[in-house]
Amino acid sequence: MTLSLYEPLLFPSQIQHGELKVNEIQLITVQLLIIYRFEYVKNFEQPDVLLPNTWIVVRIDGRGFHKLSDHYGFVKPNDRRALDLMNAAAVEVMKDLPDLCIAYGVSDEFSFVFHPNCQLFERRNGKLVTTVVSTFTAYYIYKWSEYFPDTPLKPPLLPSFDGRAVIYPNAQILRDYMSWRQVDCHINNLYNTTFWHMVLKGGQGNTEAELELKGTVAADKNEILFKRFGVNYNNELEIYKKGTVLYRQYELEEPKAIPALEEQQQPEAKQSRSQQDKVRKLRRKAQVAVDHVDIIKDEFWNRRPWILSGNPGKLPVTEQ
């Protein structure tokens, strides 16, 4: 490395007019040599750019939330305050990152979805995951007192989350992923609702209840709830049975046929930076809807085509 390569970049006008003294040039030379001496460490960095034209799902999960929920007295089987806090933090993430098109949450987990045309952080895995996780955690802790005003957070039991990114090649597989999470929500909630009724209201021990529920199907659990406790599972709150879906609210459209899978797999042209900025501004104008609905059936997606298309819809009159 020679000084002449770097001089015009650091002090172009001074070099050209001979304004730098010899000792100043020598000092700059030493500094540049030091930089060059240790610059090799950058070679150990691993590229982590996610594949282009794929859906990116960043899924976060609470760390040690079983112990945390016991410590702060979460209500069993569902604590509405805790779920509302999760949703509130997720809404702020959606507002902060307009590149997100939809999110789904249940219990202490949330899945945030970036559209295939997303170029945020040049699609670097580490940047996307850490940004989502840190933003969510920050708002979760910041908003804690709104939902648990009488239970302040204290070390060492503080909320924290881990996260990972998974890519999916087309919209159908993304929908299958979202459906899987909602089915899992239903299965877990039915089990937990039955289990905690047996323990808290039926007087059974944890092990006894677990053994009785082992090998049961949904019909068996529904029967236990209804016959023993007079509970009709169908009347449970939708947030408990279906989880929470977040999306940007535009005017609902009349149901249309979903494009063929082959059409959904066609890669889109890469957007310019100005196009990306324009889309982000349009997305920021939309309210983030908090819903507890069926996302397995086609109707949800057909009436909200902007989620899969990535193109902002028409804002409701009250929001324009």
Number of domains in the chain: 2
| 63 annotated to a ligand binding site | yes
Could you tell me the CA-to-CA distances from 83 to 58, 90, 164 in Å, in that order?
19, 11, 21
Let me know whether 12 and 158 are in one domain. no
In a domain? residue 213? no
Distance between terminal CA atoms of the chain? 57
Claim to verify: residue 96 and residue 36 sit in the same structural domain: no
Asked whether residue 75 falls in the same domain as residue 173, the answer is yes
CB 105 within 8 A of CB 38: no
Cα–Cα dist 316/320, whole Å: 7
Residue among 165, 144, 161 nearest 62 (CA): 161
Whether residue 17 lies inside any domain: the answer is yes
Measured CA to CA, the distance from residue 109 to residue 82 in angstroms comes to 12
Q: Cα separation of 287 and 271, whole Å? A: 24
d(CA 291, CA 104): 10
**33 and 147 within one domain:** no
Q: Percentage helix, strand, coil, to 5, in the chain? A: 55, 15, 30
Regarding whether 313 and 175 lie in a shared domain, the answer is yes
Same domain, 168 and 287: yes
Residue 204 inside a domain? The answer is no
Residue 44, marked binder: no
Judgement on whether residues 278 and 149 belong to the same structural domain of the protein:
yes
Residue 84 domain-assigned (yes or no) = yes
Euclidean distance between CA atoms 39 and 42, whole angstroms: 6
232 found inside a domain: no
The three state secondary structure string of 213-247 is HCCCCHHHHHHHHHHHHCCCHHHCCHHHHHCEEEE
Query: What SS3 state is found at 166?
Result: strand
Query: Does 310 belong to an annotated binding site?
Result: no
Same domain, 128 and 267: yes
Q: Which residues form the domain of 147?
A: 55-188+237-319
Distance CA 6, CA 272 (A): 31
The residue type at 289? A
Could you tell me if residue 214 is inside a domain? no
- Is residue 11 part of an annotated ligand binding site? no
CA 65/CA 74 separation, integer angstroms: 10
Judge if 241 and 271 occupy the same domain: yes
Report the alpha-carbon distance of residue 44 to residue 60 in Å, rounded. 27
Query: How far is 204 from 214, CA to CA, in rounded Å?
Result: 15
Backbone angles phi, psi at 189, to 5 degrees: -70, -40
Q: Is 64 annotated as a binding residue?
A: yes
CATH of the domain at 269: 3.30.70.3000
On whether residue 29 sits in a domain, the answer given is yes
User: In this structure, are residues 102 and 310 in contact, taking their beta carbons and an 8 Å threshold?
Assistant: no
Q: Is 105 annotated as a binding residue?
A: no
CB 276 within 8 A of CB 225: no
Any binding-site annotation on 65? yes
Does the annotation list 17 as a binding residue?
no
pTM of the model: 0.85
- Say whether both 35 and 121 belong to one domain: no
Asked whether residue 258 is domain-assigned, the answer is: yes
63 and 135 inside one domain: yes
Per-residue pLDDT of the chain (320 residues; tens, 9 = 90+): 444 444 444 444 554 455 556 677 677 777 777 777 777 778 888 889 999 999 999 999 999 999 999 999 999 999 999 999 999 999 999 999 999 999 999 999 999 999 999 999 999 999 999 999 999 999 999 999 999 999 999 999 999 999 999 999 999 999 999 999 999 999 999 999 999 999 999 999 999 999 999 999 999 999 999 999 999 999 999 999 999 999 999 988 877 665 555 445 555 556 677 777 777 787 888 899 999 999 999 999 999 999 999 888 888 866 55
Q: Same domain, yes or no, for 172 and 25?
A: no
